[in-house]
Structure 1
Amino acid sequence: MPHLFARHAKDKLNAQKITEIVASCDREPIHLLGRIQPHGALLCFDRQGRLIARSANAAHWLGAVPAIGETIRDEHLSPLSRQTIRAALADRASQDESVECKGADGERFDLILHWSGETLIVEFEQISLKAPAATQFALFAQRAIQRLQATSYDDVPQLLQAAAEAIRAMTGFDRVMGYRFMADGSGEVIAEAKHDDLAPYLQQRYPASDIPQQARRLYVLNPIRQISDVNAPPISIEPPTHPQTGVPFDLSHSVLRSVSPIHIEYLRNMGVGASMSISIVRDDKLWGLFACHHMKPYRASHAVRLSSTVLTQVVSILIAQIEAKQRALADHRISEQRSRIAAALAQAESPLAGLVSAAQDIAALVNCEAVAIVVDGEVVVRGKHSAMKRELLLELAQHLARERTDYFVSAAIDEMLPAELASGLRSEGVAGCLAIQMLGDSRKTIVWLRDELVETIHWAGPPDKVVAMGPNGPRLTPRGSFEVWKQTVTGRSRDWSDVDQNAARELRSVLQEVALMQMRESERARTTLLATLGHDLRDPLQAINMAMLLMGRGLASNNDTAKRVEGSTRRMQSLIGYILDVSRIRSGMGLGLRRVDVALGDLLESMAEQARLAHPGMTLDMHIDNRAATVHVDPDRLAQAITNLLGNARKHGDTSQPVTLTATTSAAGVAIEIRNRLLAPPTVPFDRLLDPFKSGSLDNPANRGGLGLGLYIAHAIVKGHEGTLAGRFTEDEAIVEIKLGSGDPHEAAP
């Protein structure tokens, strides 16, 4: 194929000049051209019924017409024409859709009128001698509409294909194309019904410049447009401007309005002799078109056009129904995933843990190749790019924070991100990303990633602008070739749909809701801690006060008083220690572990002795398979954790049965299991018992004087050792197991 972009030197203009010419083209007043097509006549009347303009061929088609400045008299026009015009002048609301009347030589015309401001525009459109009765087209349209409504379509292209076939059968055009506009203003033919010997245009793309902005506006105002003969010379309106305003007559709603010379040239280059366009309008916006082409001059009657317009309006409704159904299915899917994600976040120990546990649903929210979860300095990637460099994702999160944006979407990151960052992501095969970010106690960033999609677009001819010199300087000209011109697009991913973007916003909403819930929980926790501390410190303070009072009155010895004060002080220290531990854990400060090597057997024996002293009468059976093994732990903190667990076993278990502690070592690490017999199984799962502010923590009859924080602190201590604490219940037993990692145990040196 020869290079279609070769141009003469005089055609070569810089990009800025072309942009200026395009803008000028967009401003062309195509509704104010002052001309009509020759297959009819036009009359303009003011509010007083005086003729203020007429087409140059009015007398030829209609016979006697009023002179400029005169009103209609009985010798003018046909009786029905006079009656219809006078009724419209008397009452602006009295406008029939069309009236069939006669012209000078008995020619049949559709009389169509409308008000444009204070001007009544009356058009006489010639009716073909071969045109069937209007009722025939109405019946055809009704049946076609019934077929469309009775059929269930999986997608919009199927619907438009059926509609294009119905319109072609009704109108008789050689080709009818269903044309949908893209986000960038270009259009794609997604349905086509045509004569067998015509080359197909299906799936071809047309650049946005093919339909200038002012033409798009007219397509919304006037949903149907016909050009009956591209080679027919236009007819002037005389005078060309309104006598009072000096402005050309606004023919936006005219059926005979002439056409821009550039569009006529465009159609000639396509080999089209006549055309008709029917607008598909959704929510007052131009969604698409049915473009009808005939290779020779051809005219669809007013009745045919009305029937086609009604059918297209039904198509617009059906498109809305298909899209609404697709949205409803997507909304239902997103709602289910949203609920699962919210539940995972609410139950998780940390934002990262919650997001990671919900990663599968987060990835499924949006059609993508991979999803990245970035919480502060932690990065987790799921999907195809799980091995990509974490530094790139951290930098992306930092970039969003610097730009103070909580939402980012791009199908071409080269155009939207800093060059170095975009280059790094592109080196990983990523071309598009959709990201949300939320700041707070921790910065959470979710990034959905899409790979490059190398796409071949089939344009109907080269989509570049062609500039030629005219009498008024350079102007755009329509392209001369409509052969398929292939363009390979790289550096882009699939576009992010509205559904994708709504899903991302839904996730951000979930993060906000969970964060708000956690803020409320933190406030409740703080209030509970203060209330608990005040409640539980009162008793030992009262005991100290009473002991000192008794000693002062000589009712207690110094020895007794010292013991009571010492015991109450220990209780106060224990309470304050609990509160400080919980505060450090919840604030993220950690417990400040000091880890050393200690003998496993000695450590557990010491803990057992403390438990027996704290709980007289408790029977504790211990089984340690390797007493000589050492563990790298904080002995005081681990002792605190295990002592808390043994205390819980004593307080909430059957005291007539022993508590069993078993420690085993293996290549996987150390496992410490504590079992006790239950009086009754708990009514909540073990994980719920890890909540420090669960209902019933205070004033629990089985734990009088306790805060209900021991299990929560024990869990945090084990987690601080990179271990796990898990529990389960059988019908009559509680089993809690601590596992410390494989790096912890090792044999003592001989």
Structure 2
Amino acid sequence: MYRYIFTILRLWAPYITKTTFMQATNFDSEFCGNLPIHHINTIQPHGAIILLDKKNLSIIQASVNSVDYLGCSLQELLDTTLTELTGRDLTDLEETFAQAIKKKAVLSLTVNEKPLMTLVSAHELYYLLEMQVDDVQIKSKFGGLQQVRELVSALETTTALQETCDLVVSELKKLLGIDGVMMYKFDAAWNGTVISELKSESLEPYLGVTFPASDVPKQARELYLKNPIRLIPNRDYQAARLYPVINPLTNSFSDLSSCFLRGVADVHLEYMTNMQVMASMSLRVIHNGKLWGLISCNHSTVFNLSFEDCENLALLTNVISTKISSIINNDEYQFVSDLQKSRNQLVDAIYKDGLVKGIFNTQVSVLDLFQGSGAVLYLKGKQHTAGDTPDSNFLDNLHLWLQAKDITQIYATHHLVGALEDAADFSEKASGMLVIPLAGAEANYLVCFRPEVVKTVEWGGNPHQAINFEADSSTYHPRHSFKIWLETVNQTSQPWHEQELQIASTIRSFLLEYKS
């Protein structure tokens, strides 16, 4: 019933707009991407942190709640060393830190007879230690590495991208016992579309919905390259600030980029409130060294995990990323292989039948190679066309435009109207264009067109109102509503793949040398 109601909402979405091309306000780069979230200078209180001078392991800075973990006042902490608190010598602790950092392992440190689970990260001048009480209440919730191994084994059986994403989402929901898990993939503009989802009825479904790039802004994405997991157990937490405010070794705010407990910007906590989730966790998915997507886990009540759980999940993200990358690379290999095969057939046809007949060969023409709807060859002052192309007047004007633009390298666009307004009258058959410039004094070109692909984007709320400023122009809030906001995108074609452009370049090299 719940999903049926959501379907009706999609059909009767209150905000429907038509646009020739998506031009949502780029809050991602213009505003959100400039916020220094790694210098927030507070932490979430499900743990505590201390910063140690690398020279002697003296405590130079601590979160105010570290008093509860270490059993002494802040002033006492700042006048002591970790060697005094643990009873272990400097060399022993340094070697322990080095091994923990190398293995990305959770340490067990005993401070004033209190066992603490500890994460260590190294900075140029100091160590940052994150601490959590080591007791049964915070022990692993999901069986630790054994269940991770079972998920890894299940992943070995999948061969398709969607199958893999669905399995990951399903298994993580069972493993964590959490209300909702969804995986979303970033596009070229860093908007994220939900491609797999499994949720309880307490959470709104978003399968197929796209969220604007500012929801995971530039600097947040960069932090995921350093930290595979981001956990917010309770959006209503009371932040624990760092004392002193300024790091005495760097004379600035401490860099909390590597800090698992790093505090959360108020605007994101408000975002969680608007989404009606109390706790959230995000796991990264990396492909070829770049953030490909995120696995977003949400819960209606407080949801905490131990450091050990989080380290196991961090390990799992590497396995998931490797699996997804393997599938994408295999698909890419097959795509490139098919392109090269078609390219070779086209070259053979040109050698056999000549330039014009070969390019428009009925078995494998330039239209087949580049999935085009029409093409024109400007050669020695004449036009040779194939397929569905704009009229001859437009093609004449296009030839003049290409010469005026001095197109001498491969040129491609999937939004031709954005470059040439006259193309608006022919967008149904020529919304995309690939240009291969050829040699010759007559300005010869091979141009391939792609038809319009009308696309309806289901946004999670109005992307033009992703950030709302108050009258003072400095106080801001995330959008209040995540109701489906439909945007119809016209006058665009299927984008040109990078490998298609590379094949076009090889075609150009061949044609420059070819003598008809």
TM-score range (shorter-chain normalised) is 0.7 to 0.9
SS in structure 2 at match of 1:150: coil
Aligned equivalent of 1:285, options 281, 290, 293: 290
Measure the CA separation in 1 of the matches of 2:333 and 2:13. Answer: 49
Do structure 1's residue 56 and structure 2's residue 61 form an aligned pair?
A: no
SS at match of 1:299: coil
SS in 2 for 1:38: coil
Alignment pair present for 1:415 and 2:418: yes
How many residues align? The count is 491
Read off the aligned partner of 1:425 and give its amino acid letter. F
1:158-557 alignment, distance < 5 Å: 158-349=163-354, 351-357=355-361, 360-383=364-387, 385=388, 388-405=390-407, 406-417=409-420, 419-420=421-422, 422-426=423-427, 429-440=429-440, 443-465=443-465, 466-469=467-470, 473-515=473-515
Inter-partner Cα distance in structure 2 for 1:174 and 1:84: 46
Superposed displacement of residue 368, structure 1: 2.6
Secondary structure of the residue aligned to 2:39 is: coil
State the distance in 2 between where 1:135 and 1:488 align.
43
In the TM superposition, residue 323 of structure 1 has moved relative to its aligned partner by 1.7
Letter in 1 for 2:376: A
Looking at structure 2, the residues matched to 128 and 73 of structure 1 have their Cα atoms a distance apart, in angstroms, of 23
Q: AA paired with 2:42?
A: R
Unaligned runs of 5+ in 2: 1-11, 17-22
Partner letter of residue 468 of structure 2? Answer: V
Question: AA paired with 1:456?
Answer: T
**Cα distance, 1:423 vs. partner?**
3.2
CA RMSD of aligned residues (A): 2.9
Provide the C-alpha distance between the structure 1 equivalents of 2:226 and 2:210, rounded to a whole number of angstroms: 25
Aligned counterparts, 1:646-665, within 5 A? none
The alpha-carbon deviation at position 459 of structure 1 amounts to 0.8
For residue 372 of structure 1, what is the amino acid of its counterpart?
Answer: V
Aligned to 1:725: none
TM-score by structure 1 length? 0.61
User: Separation in 2 of the partners of 1:85 and 1:499?
Assistant: 55
1:71 partnered with 2:75: no
Matched position secondary structure for 1:352 = helix
- 1:682 corresponds to: none
Distance 1:367 1:492 in 2: 15
Counterparts of 1:239 and 1:132 in 2: how far apart (Å)? 31
Equivalent pair of 1:185/1:208 in contact (CA under 8 Å): yes
Shift of 1:85: 7.9
Aligned partner of residue 94 in structure 1, secondary structure: helix
Mapped contact 2:60–2:247 kept (Cα < 8 A): yes
- The 1:192/1:3 distance shift into structure 2, 3 A limit, reads closer
Kept in 1: contact 2:459–2:487 (CA 8 A): yes
Query: Structure 1 510/475 Cα, relative in aligned 2: closer, same or farther at 3 Å?
Result: farther
Secondary structure in structure 1 of the residue aligned to 2:376: strand
Taking structure 1 as reference, are residues 59 and 4 closer, same or farther at Cα in structure 2, changes over 3 Å only?
A: farther
Structure 1: distance between partners of 2:460 and 2:133: 34
Higher Rg of the two aligned structures: 1
**Aligned in 2, Cα 1:357/1:491: closer, same or farther, shift over 3 Å?**
closer
What does the per-residue CA deviation read over 1:326-375, in whole Å, with 9 as the maximum and x for residues that have no partner? 122222222222222112222345x3233233684311112232233332
- What percent of counterpart residues are identical? 25
User: Offset of 1:500 from its aligned partner?
Assistant: 3.3
- Structure 1, gaps ≥5 residues long: 6-14, 519-750
In structure 2, C-alpha distance between the alignment counterparts of 1:449 and 1:28, rounded to whole Å: 42
Q: Sort the Cα spacing of 1:85 and 1:102 in 2 relative to 1 into closer, same or farther, 3 A.
A: same
Maintained 8 Å contact 1:461/1:484: yes
> Which is bigger in relative contact order (C-alpha 8 A, separation at least 6)?
2
Partners of 1:394 and 1:415 in 2: CA distance: 19
Contact 1:414 1:423 in 2 (8 A): yes
- State the SS of the aligned residue for 1:93: helix
Secondary structure of the residue aligned to 1:184 is: coil
- Aligned partners of 2:353, 2:429: CA distance in 1, in Å? 33
SS at match of 1:188: strand
Is contact 1:88–1:94 with CA below 8 Å preserved after alignment? no
CA distance in 2, matches of 1:115, 1:278: 22
Match for residue 579 of structure 1?
Answer: none
CA distance, structure 2, for counterparts of residue 479 and residue 128 of structure 1: 40
Separation (CA, whole Å) in 2 of partners of 1:304 and 1:193 = 21
Which amino acid is the alignment partner of residue 411 of structure 1?
Answer: H
1:197 and 1:93 mapped to 2: Cα distance?
Answer: 44
Q: What is the DSSP-based 3-state SS (H/G/I as helix, E as strand, rest coil) of the residue aligned with 1:459?
A: strand
- Matched to 2:64, the amino acid is A
* Change in 2 beyond 3 A, CA 1:295/1:151: same
Q: Matches of 1:103 and 1:23 in 2, distance apart?
A: 46
Aligned-pair distance for 1:289?
0.7
**Residues 338-347 or 87-96, more deviating:** 87-96
